[in-house]
A and B are shown apart, each in its own frame.
Chain A
Amino acid sequence: MTLRIAHPYNRSMVKVLSLFLVLTSLSALGSTPYCFDVDGMTCSQCVKKIKEAFSEFSYLESTKVSLKEASVTILSKDSLSPAQESHLLKTFKDLKYKAKKVKCASSP
């Protein structure tokens, strides 16, 4: 059985509703960014080192390192627990960088 929507207003409503549903589910699935100010990243090898270290964490989606901004932005699949956050900070420390969590420009 097929659903027939004859009235143009109904069609528009369906479109709006579909868009709303898509956006809602995308937002629910969306990643959470975590931003860090990082001291001690003085050469391009630091980018590789940090990315390699964080690629070990299965709950992280991606790591963006900016040498110019002296910052690292990590995207997590879900919100991180305090223990996971401190694990990230410990990783920075183990790599000999001083990192401080800061509010991301786009964070909720």
Chain B
Amino acid sequence: MRFISLIILLLSTHLFAKEVTLKTPQGGSFAIHSTEGFISTDQLIGKHVFLFFGFATCPDVCPLTLQRMKQLASSLTEAERANFRFLFISVDNERDTIEKLKSLKNTYGNSFIGAVDSDEKLTEITDLFGARYRRFKNKKNHLVIDHTDSIFHIDQQGKWVSTIPFGSSVESMQKELRVKTPAPQIIHPARSAKLLDQNLQCDLGVKPCSIKHGRDEFTLTLSPYPITTEKPFYVSVTAKSQNLKPVEVDFQGVTLNMGFIRPPLSQVSKDSRFETKKLSLPICELDRMEWTVRLIVTEKTGKLHYLDYRLITLE
């Protein structure tokens, strides 16, 4: 009897796992402890907010970004500056305090708002934007912090309108503020999709991998080899199918949350070849990182399905 229950449980778990909800981060309002007190993003409506996740003792990305923000603020007119805020959320709540962030405000001016909160709150906020952060100690017991390095632009209506890549120039960010960017239309913030099939034996890091499902066949190729975390690459899909069209490809860290990475696929030729734009995966502390690469395909009716592939990136 116990054996039968176990079989039923295993079967139901298996069937349940076949349907997933594909969530698309779309920003949203939040409140956090900051250098201006407990502040809600609703209070910042009417201002352009550039949101960044970092930490005070960060040696490279944060000082460079903070410096660019300072330069950007000084390059703006007085009226523009009054309507611009740089919201620096520290993901190092072990060492960064509001007092410490206030000292950054002295350096980086009135446009700067420093904020820090509990891990629960930080995760809630990073999830809104598909960002990630992770703290861990190295073998010398020193704290290492990994975090998303892009800037999230929230417009004067409180809508997340764009993601500015790390290292963007002051001029491009100035343009970003001056030219009205329409908020992206996220028609389906959460959609359910059913598993069609999977091929977890083949490693996309070294060769193309195919999945045959009935008469359909989908071959995924990442190039150029070898696929590593810091090197940009392309994803291409060859689809042999009458009814299903590839739309997106989603990269998920198997053991670590690596944030939202789901580039769209565009058809590049009549022979059912689809490609993403150039993308790169974030670096993590693992020497060997395993990813689930989920190919999302759609029926003509809009019903979604997915196929799971595997990728291993080596440091």
> Which residues does A use to contact B, with CB under 8 Å?
39-49, 51, 64-70, 96
Contact = CB atoms under 8 A, between A and B. Distances in A.
Given A42-B59, A46-B59, A66-B287, 19 more contacts: A41-B144, A42-B142, A42-B144, A43-B58, A43-B145, A44-B283, A44-B284, A45-B59, A47-B283, A47-B315, A49-B60, A51-B230, A64-B315, A65-B315, A68-B139, A68-B144, A68-B287, A70-B138, A70-B139
Nearest to B228: A51
Contacts of B282: 44
Contacts of A68: 136, 138-139, 144, 285-287
Contact of B58 (A42, A49, A66, A69): A42
B138 A48 contact: no
A65 B146 CA distance: 14
Given A45-B149, A47-B283, A49-B60, A70 B142 contact: yes
A46 B60 contact: yes
A43 B285 CA distance: 9
B163 interface: no
A68 B147 CA distance: 15
Contacts of B59: 40, 42-43, 45-46, 96
Contacts of A42: 57-59, 142-145
17 contacts: A39-B142, A42-B57, A42-B144, A43-B60, A43-B144, A45-B59, A45-B60, A45-B61, A46-B60, A47-B230, A48-B283, A49-B60, A66-B315, A68-B138, A68-B139, A68-B286, A69-B138
A48 B230 contact: yes
Contacts of A44: 146, 282-285
Interface of B: 57-61, 136, 138-140, 142-147, 149, 230, 282-287, 315
Contact of A43 (B146, B287, B315): B146
A46 B57 CA distance: 13
Interface SS, B side: loop
A67 B61 contact: no
B140 A39 contact: yes
Contacts of A41: 138, 144
Contacts of B57: 42
Question: Which 9 A-B pairs have CB atoms at the shortest separation, nearest pair first?
Answer: A44-B283, A70-B138, A45-B60, A67-B285, A44-B146, A68-B285, A45-B61, A47-B283, A70-B140
Contacts of A43: 58-61, 144-147
A48 B315 CA distance: 11
Nearest to A51: B230
A47 B284 CA distance: 9
Task: Identify which of B60, B149, B282 gathers the most chain A CB atoms within 10 Å of its CB.
Answer: B60
Nearest to A41: B144
Nearest to A73: B315
Contacts of A70: 138-140, 142
Contacts of A45: 59-61, 149
Contacts of B143: 42
A64 B287 CA distance: 9
A44 to B, nearest CB: 4
Nearest to A52: B230
Contacts of A46: 59-60
A37 B61 CA distance: 22
A68 B287 CA distance: 9
A67 B60 contact: no
A25 B60 CA distance: 43
Task: Identify which of B59, B61, B149, B286 gathers the most chain A CB atoms within 10 Å of its CB.
Answer: B59
Task: Identify which of A40, A68, A96 gathers the most chain B CB atoms within 10 Å of its CB.
Answer: A68
B230 A67 contact: no
A94 to B, nearest CB: 14
